[in-house]
Amino acid sequence: MSDWRRFWQAWRAEITHIVADRAVLLVIVGGLLFYAVLYPLPYQKSVPGEQAIAVLDSDHSAMARQLIRMADAAPQIRVAARPGSMAEAEALLANDEVHGLLVIPEGFERNVYLGNPTSLSFAGDASYFLIYGNVVEGLLTAATTLSVQTQLMSSLLKGDNPMQIPGHIMPMRVITKPVFNPTSGYLNYIVPAVFVLILHQTLLIAAGSVTIKDRARRFLGQPATSLALAIPLRVASFMLIYLLFAMLYFGFFFRLYGIPHVATPGPLLLFSLLFFMAATLFAIWLGYLLPRPELTTVVVLLSSLPIVFTAGFAWPAESLPRWLDVITLLIPVKPGIQGFLAINQMGAPIISIWREIGVLLGLCALYGSWIGWLAHRQRRLAK
């Protein structure tokens, strides 16, 4: 038999072990498609619209009523109630009928005209930071606009030059523009990183299970391809399979959900191949350590949440303890997430993620050598 024929027969055997295994096929096809559709659904309406607030007006002045109208006109908030007492306002907050409470103090208009410092108080639930920030932004816009109007009127009454008043009142303006997350929503923030995590974790389950079952067949003396050929073919097979799903994730589903992505195909393809090679070698290494296929799912379930908080997107990696940051770099998903976010969401050139590329290359060398040693050791013990 020619070498090419042995090669194709061995590769066909590897593909058969993947496709004929219902559990593995369910994880690869069913799991990836299921999570791609299900996971982003809660974040579809991730940009908060008008949030209901209550206003407790203790001043009952014309300026206080003007502030309430301006706050109600802001696109971020809606004045839903005007309670007559603090107890009534607290009940509205406790029953979740409103998301915040604006308190206008007594003497508000008098202090503004006299130039005395005055404070507006706002209370709200800050556990939903996007909603809280949206409400505060709307109130700040309304209060700032009213303050500028008041100062403008006071300057005109003093006889100041109308052409110079705007520069005296607001010598500078701040124009904000969100970068990498144009809608300032959860969807653009969390889904790109979690998609990489889903690809990584399902790859661990699938390739780890295939490796454990292949070990069992060899232990029972069933015909099998030599490990020197089987392992590279397994790595290549999973790389190709997951490269197709990566194209689906970073192409079709990103466009479906309106997630911005700016990477050119070349750098994205090169980094994807390196990432899936490291992840597959890591999965095969796990397959040589674990005794039963179902344990790969247990390992993935136990590790998913710690990975989320140490991968650098939910919490800055610089704020982690140094030892923890170094240990988590042994898992390919951490440099993978950081690299994909840099080139796909931030438009960074591939040369700028040399650290992540170096880590993935090091992991390939580490787990590749380790797998070779484990395979040699198990083959010697079997004899």
383 residues of the chain, pLDDT tens digit each: 567 777 788 788 888 888 888 888 888 888 888 888 888 877 766 666 677 888 888 888 888 888 888 888 877 788 888 888 888 888 888 787 888 888 888 888 887 777 777 777 777 776 666 677 777 777 777 777 777 667 666 655 555 555 554 544 445 555 666 666 666 667 777 888 899 999 999 999 999 999 999 888 877 777 777 777 888 889 999 999 999 999 999 988 888 888 888 888 888 999 999 999 999 999 999 998 888 888 998 998 888 888 888 888 777 777 888 888 888 889 999 999 999 998 988 888 888 889 999 999 999 999 999 888 877 776 676 66
Do 11 and 83 belong to one domain?
no
Q: 304 with 205: CB under 8 angstroms?
A: no
Q: 310 with 325: CB under 8 angstroms?
A: yes
Q: Is 102 helix (H, G, I), strand (E, B) or coil?
A: strand
In a domain, 180, yes or no: no
In a domain, 294, yes or no: yes
> What are the angstrom distances between the C-alpha of 243 and each of 11, 276, 280, 360, 379?
17, 8, 12, 16, 31
Do 118 and 230 belong to one domain?
no
Do 217 and 365 belong to one domain?
yes
Euclidean distance between CA atoms 212 and 287, whole angstroms: 5
In a domain, 270, yes or no: yes
Q: 108 with 121: CB under 8 angstroms?
A: no
Q: Name the token pair of 71.
A: 């706050």
In a domain, 218, yes or no: yes
In a domain, 176, yes or no: no
Q: Residue 133 has what DSSP assignment?
A: H
Question: Which of 83, 164, 97 lies closest to 125, judged by CA?
Answer: 97
Q: Could you tell me which residues come within 8 angstroms of residue 373 by beta carbon, excluding any fewer than 6 positions away?
A: none
Query: 0.75 cut: is pTM over it?
Result: yes
Euclidean distance between CA atoms 4 and 236, whole angstroms: 16
Beta bridge partners of 124: 100
Q: CATH no. for residue 93?
A: 3.40.1710.10
Do 94 and 141 belong to one domain?
yes
In a domain, 234, yes or no: yes
Beta bridge partners of 308: none
- Counting the structural domains of the chain, the total is 2
Q: Could you tell me which residues come within 8 angstroms of residue 15 by beta carbon, excluding any fewer than 6 positions away?
A: 237
Do 39 and 66 belong to one domain?
no
Range of the domain at 286: 3-43+185-382
Q: Could you tell me which residues come within 8 angstroms of residue 212 by beta carbon, excluding any fewer than 6 positions away?
A: 287, 290, 291, 292, 293, 296
Do 218 and 153 belong to one domain?
no
Q: What is the CA radius of gyration of the chain?
A: 30
Do 190 and 133 belong to one domain?
no
Q: 290 with 299: CB under 8 angstroms?
A: yes
Q: Pairing mode, if any, of strands 121-124 and 51-57?
A: unpaired
Do 60 and 141 belong to one domain?
yes
Euclidean distance between CA atoms 234 and 282, whole angstroms: 12
The torsion region of residue 258 among left (phi > 0), alpha (psi -120 to 50) and beta comes to: left
